[in-house]
Structure 1
């Protein structure tokens, strides 16, 4: 399984939200350049796979999952947007505290390649069909340059729900 980092994470109340991957961003991985094309995650989302949200790709540190509804994923024009309900566990409280302090490194995701899912041109790889297994909150250094982690605290009493900042993104019930 391969792992890549994303761009954005925010904390609002007991939720983390942001982007686990972005489209159209050239990223240097070892000795090649990689880019994720729009629609690359659509099959994984549409097929209803049980996708996990982990801390640092650690399968013993589950934060949320799609099967239980505590992790929600969607593609928009920017990338793979997520929202997760942070559990009241030691790892959940730690991740939330670090996000609020702006001390996390970013987001990442673990994947394999689906049928006809990649195209190589020299040392450039286009990802077209990604089988998504997990997204991860990364404590230190994500693989993609330019990733950021931001905390936004809004009082829960206001009933505000975290949503991704990109204007084209809307959660659907």
Structure 2
């Protein structure tokens, strides 16, 4: 099964700080153990430690999920990511470019009101005994963090496919369990037939 890329948006505004060499954007791209309603389809939380392995990769900071508008990169040292007790913390040294200056102005004015991140889930747990179902994200592969003007989880279409995948996996597991049960009964019946003939 291929991993789908998902995005989630957090409605917490980043902070803009002046540094000796320019401007830095700081804040959280994700918060742990904070339930989020994903379009009414399910409730999702991210476990502490979900990003630990992902932080070893080369991750970019971009604008509005546009990979052509890079404003920081872990590989270049212009984006720093870390996990703490609250969530996925970031620091971006904004470039002295049109995009960097535009982001700074938009944050100051309050036009940009959130952060988002693009990821694939590599380990998760579903609880389908509740309505809506509960999804706990335990580990991700992280591709990007994004400054965005549209907080509050607007992009759930890929995430809905993830729920469908989980339901398909559960149906396959149920069929396999049923098949295994039938096979066991057939073997037991065959063994009884052999014994009764002996």
- Structure 2 residue 3 is matched with structure 1 residue 5: no
What TM-score comes out, normalization by structure 1 length?
0.78
**What is the aligned-residue RMSD (CA, Å)?**
1.2
For residue 28 of structure 1, the aligned residue among 37, 45, 53 is 37
Question: 4-13 or 33-42: which moved more?
Answer: 4-13
1: CA distance between counterparts of 2:57 and 2:52? 11
In structure 2, the partner of 1:67 is 75
2: CA distance between counterparts of 1:142 and 1:64? 23
How many residues end up aligned between the 2 structures? 140
Larger radius of gyration: 2
- Structure 2 residue 128 is matched with structure 1 residue 97: no
2: CA distance between counterparts of 1:10 and 1:109? 17
In structure 1, the gaps of 5 or more residues are 145-173
Name the one with the larger helix percent. 2
In structure 2, the gaps of 5 or more residues are 155-198
For residue 119 of structure 1, the aligned residue among 110, 125, 134 is 125
2: CA distance between counterparts of 1:34 and 1:137? 21
Shift >3 Å, 4+ stretches: none
1: CA distance between counterparts of 2:105 and 2:61? 17
- How do residues 27-46 of structure 1 correspond to structure 2 at under 5 angstroms? 27-30=36-39, 31-45=41-55
For 1:62, what is the secondary structure of its paired residue? strand
